Structure 1
Amino acid sequence: MQSFVGTGVALVTPFKKDFSVDVQALEKIVNHVIEGGVEYLVVLGTTGEPATLNAEEKELVIDTIIKANNKRLPLVLGVGGNNTMQLVDELKTRDFSAFAAILSVSPYYNKPTQEGIYQHFSAIAKASPVPVILYNVPGRTASNMLPSTVLRLAHEFSNVVAIKEAAGDIVQAMKIIQGKPENFHVISGDDMITLPMVLAGGSGVISVIGEGFPKEFSQMVRLGLERKVDQAYALHYKIANATDMIFEQGNPAGIKQVFKALGLAENTVRLPLVAVNEDLANRLNEYTKNI
């Protein structure tokens, strides 16, 4: 499971101005992040706006990334939701031969108890033909997967190999790191506290800012893993303002503005999201020009 040490990036789905999927831009982004030095790619994570894609578009995105990647880096597929049995059916019927793992977000809106979250992921672990990365992001799901639930799953299911921990709570992350099985990875899901989590014993990050600036961010993570603290923090503070800015008006609106500034894609998002306003666009453009 060394595939999940370092920097993974949650790829956006670029759209043309007419809101159709921009295949050529997606190919450019895949090459951009690979050439920037990231370690793996996450396909159709929540940053990829899968909630706004139809079934045909999802397959187009998957196929485009598989072909553009050309087996250069491990791929992780987002397979999550709040209908457990629908996910189980997908896990039993989809071809996962191109993927090293799935990333599965904790159920949203339903607000299950900790036992409900455990039972949900238990069903996924039993059905999945590939390793499972849990994803805890209570700011979006409205329920927090507690360390006790994470550790219960990690110790009971050998194919539950990691968690993307995005509660924004370094103490919670440290509790998981303290109690985890030896080969279980605690992966930051919060770009701003990635380095502290790595230095506390985490394995890296699944990042958004890292797809805009893959060279700088992935190098920061590697320096952190090597315990080169001062050099790592120098890069952290170089990127910190941009990290704040890309989330200021929602994700992935901010990172898509970065891609527009880089000349890789339009800044188009699908409703109910909207593009960043002119002020934020100008600030992101200026940062991107000067980094």
Structure 2
Amino acid sequence: MNELRGAGVALVTPFNTDGTVDFESLAKLIDFQIDGGIDYLVVLGTTGETATLTAEERKQIWTFTSEKVNGRIPLVAGIGGNNTYEIANQVAEFDIQGYCAILSVSPYYNKPTQEGIYQHYKAIALASKLPIILYNVPGRTGSNLSPATTVRLAKDFDNIVATKEASGSFAQFNEIMRDKPADFLLISGDDPATLPMMALGAVGIISVVGNAYPAEVTALTKYCAQDDYATARPIHNKLLRITDLCFIEANPCGVKYILQEKGVIAHDSLRLPLLPVGKATQDAIKAEIALIG
């Protein structure tokens, strides 16, 4: 799965002020990513506010993005949730045209056991026509996909090919790297962890801040992949503050404001329960944009 190496971006979903999907801005955002050199795009991950979209809107966005990209870079579809049978059915029925893999978040809210998480992903793997990327983000799901379960899934299912790790635990990253099959990929799920994770052997990042700074995130991963950490480190440091501001009022509120300020999308509109960032955060973001240049 060389398509999953390097810089991936978890795309936001632009909305008009009336709450409808802004496909014109989405088209501009896609071109902005490709022009910035990004290696692949994740369509309708959690950053895409997928939980607030209807089934029909999700299909429209997947199809629109595939047609707009037109094979220029690989695409990954985000299909995840806490109803195993529903997610397995969605995966089985997914139109794979233009897509190389599926990113599926570990089931949230239910707080399943490790065996329950294993059986959840087993059902998805058996239903899928595409390779699967696990996604562990305990801060959002309320449960942790353990290294032992990650490695067990990687060994038991040939089509489970990678994990996006956003646990923040380097003990966990180390254990996965030590025990995983050689061809199973570890991908950073947190922008600030990209450089140290790649030093451990991770292959890249699925980024949020890359929505607004694709060239910088791409350069960071390329230098890390070349073991040129002296060159990568200033890029890493340059992005730290703006990344913090992306999350200060929940994701993707901050990065949508940056994209609006940079003229990539028309509006920083979100769907409830999320709201645009407040004045203090706006001012901080504007100041940091000016510093970054």
TM-score normalised by structure 1 residue count: 0.98
Q: Residue 66 of structure 1: CA displacement?
A: 1.1
Q: How far apart are the structure 2 equivalents of 1:239 and 1:92? A: 38
For 1:6-30, what per-residue CA distance to the aligned partner results, in whole angstroms no more than 9, with x for missing partners?
Answer: 0100000001111111000000000
Amino acid of the structure 2 residue aligned with 1:228 = D
Q: Secondary structure of 1:120's partner? A: helix
Contact 1:188 1:206 in 2 (8 A): yes
- 1:192 paired to 2:192: yes
Partner of 1:219: 219
Contact 1:27 1:68 in 2 (8 A): yes
Partner of 1:274: 275
Q: Secondary structure of 2:211's partner? A: helix
Of stretches 245-254 and 167-176 in structure 1, the one that deviates more from structure 2 is 167-176
Q: How far apart are the structure 2 equivalents of 1:98 and 1:33? A: 17
For 1:187-228, what per-residue CA distance to the aligned partner results, in whole angstroms no more than 9, with x for missing partners?
Answer: 000111111001110010100011110111110111011100
Q: Structure 2 stretches of 5 or more lacking a match? A: none
Q: Secondary structure of 1:71's partner? A: coil
Amino acid of the structure 2 residue aligned with 1:227 = D
Q: Secondary structure of 1:246's partner? A: helix
Amino acid of the structure 2 residue aligned with 1:268 = S
Partner of 1:203: 203
For 1:104-157, what per-residue CA distance to the aligned partner results, in whole angstroms no more than 9, with x for missing partners?
Answer: 000000100000000110111111100000000000000000000000000111
Q: Secondary structure of 2:270's partner? A: coil
Partner of 1:164: 164
Partner of 2:241: 241
Q: How far apart are the structure 2 equivalents of 1:55 and 1:90? A: 10
Q: How far apart are the structure 2 equivalents of 1:191 and 1:120? A: 27
Q: Residue 289 of structure 1: CA displacement?
A: 3.4
Partner of 2:86: 86
* 1:1-291 matches, cutoff 5 A: 1-265=1-265, 266-291=267-292
Q: How far apart are the structure 2 equivalents of 1:257 and 1:289? A: 14
For 1:19-50, what per-residue CA distance to the aligned partner results, in whole angstroms no more than 9, with x for missing partners?
Answer: 11100000000011111111000001000001
Tell me how many residue pairs correspond in the alignment.
291
Amino acid of the structure 2 residue aligned with 1:163 = T
Contact 1:11 1:41 in 2 (8 A): yes
Q: How far apart are the structure 2 equivalents of 1:191 and 1:281? A: 20
Q: Secondary structure of 1:148's partner? A: helix
Q: What is the aligned-residue identity percentage?
A: 46
Q: Structure 1 stretches of 5 or more lacking a match? A: none
Of stretches 227-236 and 279-288 in structure 1, the one that deviates more from structure 2 is 279-288
Q: Secondary structure of 1:9's partner? A: strand
Q: Residue 288 of structure 1: CA displacement?
A: 2.1
Over 6 Å off, 4+ runs: none
Q: Secondary structure of 2:139's partner? A: helix
Q: How far apart are the structure 2 equivalents of 1:37 and 1:259? A: 17
TM-score normalised by structure 2 residue count: 0.97
Superposed CA RMSD in Å reads 0.9
